[in-house]
């Protein structure tokens, strides 16, 4: 330090010595960084939304191997113009409120964060064509509860079948639901039948999941009329042709009414990372009844002396609710999704 300025001593006679920024070991403070949100990720390049425009960015060195995912709020430096060929740098990921995770498959313990900072998981299922797949819905619910996200069951194609049968499976869990129909008398683009869904999405970040053919794209296009164009812009910016169908992307709802994250490539959730203790936390009334469970009790059907059985026997809880909770618990290790 002492000889660092020796060659420039004359400068220090002329003006007070300025505190220099830490140079090497200390982390730079990036006082000039701005906040943006990650819209999509494509081969190490990130599309961010900043002041209404899309900006391309890459991770900066201080982030190391820390992942950046769709939904992240990030701090960014560099070229925020969004002009062709511009590239900003992500210097920090703002702590996440939620993380939706999946294990690659149930036997593979490597878990990955799919999206972050989402409040709600919208499980999109058709009432017919294709037939609902309750096991798949159960697994999505497990992922939501584990992530601390509120679930919403969105039943599409209400013009084709009645929701009652499916609803009876989820009523005791208290899963909120909406129905939509975007064909028949009401075509996509008309407002009427989406009012309830829009109300449920308002002010939140919601992730939409659903298997092929349930009408998820139709729904997204009805909610965000220029969704195709917006996704098109993402493509134009990356210059990599058609938007890869395997990546999630975030869209802002019209009038700043919230955010949706579509997940075209995600049809399944490996749930190997989900612990029974985390799942039951989503049902505080049931959790209360497990306080005297034997150590290590999973609260499943075959557990001896589980507090849930005692509560049912004593008439203290709804047996359907316990049964449904246990169905979810079992769905963790199902192999048919
Ligand atoms: N009858 C009826 N058909 C619908 C409704 N919504 C969507 N469809 C039709 O269902 C088919 C599948 O819709 P998509 O929106 O492409 O389904 P998706 O879930 O995005 O499927 P992928 O593109 O495979 O991921 C299309 O032929 C739609 O026109 C509806 O409410 N009622
Ligand atoms: Zn138990």
Distance 185 CA to ligand 1 centre (A): 15
Closest C-alpha residue for ligand 1 atom 21: 213
pLDDT score for 125: 96
Q: Is the CB of 112 under 6 A from ligand 1?
A: no
Q: What is the pLDDT of residues 274-293, one digit of tens each?
A: 989 899 999 999 999 999 99
**Structural fold of domain 34-93:** OB fold (Dihydrolipoamide Acetyltransferase, E2P) (2.40.50)
Closest C-alpha residue for ligand 1 atom 6: 215
Looking at all shown ligands, the one closest to residue 245's CA atom is 1
Closest C-alpha residue for ligand 1 atom 24: 212
Superfamily of structural domain 99-262? P-loop containing nucleotide triphosphate hydrolases (3.40.50.300)
Average pLDDT over residues 206-235: 80
pLDDT score for 62: 81
Q: What is the pLDDT of residues 146-171, one digit of tens each?
A: 999 999 999 999 999 999 999 999 99
Q: CB neighbours (10 Å) of residue 272?
A: 17
Rounded-to-integer distance, Cα 276 and Cα 306, Å: 13
184 is an annotated ligand-binding site residue: no
Whether the predicted pLDDT of 133 surpasses 70: yes
Closest C-alpha residue for ligand 1 atom 32: 157
pLDDT score for 29: 72
Write down the ipTM of this complex: 0.97
Residue 5 pLDDT class (50, 70, 90 cuts): very low
Average pLDDT, the chain: 84
pLDDT score for 142: 95
Q: Is the CB of 299 under 6 A from ligand 1?
A: no
pLDDT score for 226: 76
In the chain, what are the domain boundaries?
A: 34-93, 99-262, 276-331
Q: Which atom of ligand 1 is nearest to the CA of 180?
A: 31
Q: Is the CB of 94 under 6 A from ligand 1?
A: no
């Amino acid at each position: 330090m002492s000889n660092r300025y020796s060659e420039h001593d004359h400068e220090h006679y002329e003006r007070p010595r300025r505190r220099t920024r830490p140079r090497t070991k200390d982390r730079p403070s990036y006082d000039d960084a701005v906040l943006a949100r990650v819209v999509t990720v494509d081969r190490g390049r990130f599309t961010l939304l900043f002041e209404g425009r899309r900006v391309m960015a890459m991770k900066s060195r201080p982030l190391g191997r820390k992942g950046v995912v769709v939904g992240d709020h990030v701090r960014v430096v560099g070229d925020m113009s969004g002009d062709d060929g511009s590239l900003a740098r992500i210097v920090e990921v703002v702590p996440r409120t939620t993380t939706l995770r999946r294990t690659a498959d149930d036997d593979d313990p490597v878990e990955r964060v799919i999206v972050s900072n989402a409040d709600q998981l919208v499980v999109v299922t058709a009432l017919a064509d294709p037939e609902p797949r309750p096991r798949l819905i159960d697994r999505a619910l497990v992922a939501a509860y584990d992530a601390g996200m509120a679930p919403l069951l969105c039943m599409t194609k209400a013009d084709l079948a009645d929701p009652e049968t499916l609803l009876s499976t989820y009523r005791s869990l208290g899963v909120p639901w909406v129905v939509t129909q975007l064909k028949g008398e009401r075509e996509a683009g008309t407002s009427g039948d989406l009012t309830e869904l829009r109300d449920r999405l308002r002010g939140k970040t919601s992730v939409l999941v659903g298997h092929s053919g349930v009408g998820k794209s139709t729904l997204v296009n009805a909610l965000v009329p220029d969704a195709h164009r917006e996704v098109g812009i993402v493509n134009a910016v990356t210059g990599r042709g058609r938007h890869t169908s395997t990546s999630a992307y975030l869209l802002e709802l019209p009038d700043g009414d919230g955010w949706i994250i579509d997940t075209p490539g995600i049809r399944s959730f490996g749930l190997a990372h989900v612990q029974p203790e985390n799942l039951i936390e989503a049902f505080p009334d049931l959790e209360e009844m497990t306080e005297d469970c034997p150590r290590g009790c999973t609260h499943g059907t075959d557990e001896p002396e589980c507090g849930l059985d005692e509560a049912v026997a004593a008439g203290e809880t709804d047996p359907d609710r316990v049964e449904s909770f246990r169905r979810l618990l079992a769905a963790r290790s199902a192999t048919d999704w």
